[in-house]
Amino acid sequence: MIRNSQNLPDNLERVHARIAAAAAQCGRNVDSITLVAVGKAQPVEALQAAAAAGLTHFGENYLQEALAKREALKGLPLTWHFIGQLQANKTRAVAASFDWVHAVDRLRLAQRLAEQRPYYSPPLNVCVQVNVGGESSKAGVSPAQVPELAAAVARLPRLQLRGLMCIPPAEEDLQRQRYWLAQVHGLFESLNAQGAGLDTLSMGMSADLEAAVLEGATLVRIGTALFGPRPVREPQPAPEL
């Protein structure tokens, strides 16, 4: 088995300890925080090891890679989260194959997901992605646009608007990390004060896990801290002419 899979039980214990310590610091019940194992670029053996260690929520960024892993692990009772940037030409496969979509940032994408969600499947859980730092390199709507988009998504059939997701600016200082995440938490609370009924804050990765828990995250998306560095993809040879 691959080396990262051998290290995974220890890594998982450390991640659970980090979540528990942060939850205790702010008086939260650790059971209110779900760990989503992010398997981007990791081999299926790593996900099998994570499932064997008790994880049931898995997040993937790349559609074709995710579909192959889902097929390989189809005998396991897993919940699949699509956490990558969503493109219009991929909505049908995402709507049919995932339980959650974290990165809805345009109404048209949400409409396509609603139209393409199979009738026999439960409503697709979705989050609106907030570009809290206004970074051009990241997807998401501005905080000012969130209420309008959230209200429109909530009206669509076959979807269940669960909450907000963000990838904040990279910061090393805990208080700076909290600064950005607190803005998203504030939006979440504001929407709920208006009757939105949201229950999910998808925020926090390996580097800012503690800040996310302190600011109310209910889903934390952890990759490197669980699996180690992502494997380097081998360059594909150019086709012969």
What pLDDT does 236 receive?
47
What pLDDT digit, counting tens, does each position of 15-51 carry? 999 999 999 999 999 999 999 999 999 999 999 999 9
What pLDDT does 239 receive?
47
Q: What is the pTM of this model?
A: 0.93
Mean local confidence (pLDDT), 57-68: 96
Closest Cα partner for 165 from 151, 181, 154, 179?
181
| Structural domains of the chain sorted by starting position, each given as residue range(s) with its CATH number in brackets | 3-227 (3.20.20.10)
| pLDDT > 50? residue 178 | yes
Beta strands in 76-192, from DSSP E residues, in sequence order: 79-82, 100-104, 124-130, 159-166
